Amino acid sequence: MGLRSALRALFGTSRSNPQLPVEIGPNGAVARAELSEGDFRLEVVGESRYQDVLERIVGGRSEDGANYPTMAILLPEPENRYDPNAVQVLIAGLVVGYLSRANARVMHRPLMHFMARHDRAFACRALIKGGWDRGPDDRGHFGVELCLEPADLGVSDDQLRGARDPAFLESVIEFEP
């Protein structure tokens, strides 16, 4: 399934299906998604390319920065010219980054199977953090952290734990209930 066909399949125009979590996408579209309720944390990579998008999602920069809980959709991108296992991270229907190459290698195929089996995207809680602005010499980048249940995709915590960046293991952000 290509990116365009995956987006066409996931984003519709009806908002009449209240039992599914939804995410507003481009042009007011809605994604059909199943929300993973786990507490396993994954850091998103590549957010530096999407700082304007993240700033718009959180409503701008502030002196303290963002601590913005939201929902993300994980979308495999098999046609990615750099990595056929790439997995996009979308918030509000907009790309905000990717899973790391190591995590994408573990998650890509299970996400494809999940989408085919459930006819909807895989969604999880997300936290947009950082992005402070304390003047011209002190401006932080936004980052995104995901919180999900790997077993929802038939993946073990250990498979992802082995793929995680060791530096990330030291930085744990608490999600508000």
Per-domain boundaries in the chain: 35-163
How far apart CA 142 and CA 45 sit, in angstroms, is: 11
pLDDT higher than threshold 80 for residue 80: yes
pLDDT higher than threshold 90 for residue 163: no
Question: What pLDDT sits at residue 106?
Answer: 94
Question: Residue 161: which region, alpha, beta or left (left: phi > 0; alpha: psi -120 to 50)?
Answer: alpha
| pLDDT tens per residue across span 32-43 | 788 888 889 999
Question: What pLDDT sits at residue 118?
Answer: 87
Mean pLDDT (whole number) for 45-68: 94
One of 3.40.190, 3.90.1570, 3.30.70, 1.10.10 is the CATH number of 35-163, namely 3.30.70
pLDDT higher than threshold 90 for residue 111: yes
Alpha helical stretches, state H, 79-156: 101-118
pLDDT higher than threshold 50 for residue 132: yes
| pLDDT tens per residue across span 83-100 | 999 999 999 989 999 999
**Reported pTM:** 0.76
Cβ-in-10-Å burial (0-12, 13-18, 19+) of 116 comes to exposed
Question: What pLDDT sits at residue 72?
Answer: 94
Question: What pLDDT sits at residue 82?
Answer: 94
User: What's the one-letter identity of residue 127?
Assistant: L
Question: What pLDDT sits at residue 66?
Answer: 92
How far apart CA 176 and CA 88 sit, in angstroms, is: 24
pLDDT higher than threshold 70 for residue 8: no
Q: What is the mean pLDDT of the chain?
A: 80
pLDDT higher than threshold 60 for residue 167: no
pLDDT higher than threshold 60 for residue 6: no
Question: What pLDDT sits at residue 31?
Answer: 63
Mean pLDDT (whole number) for 119-123: 90
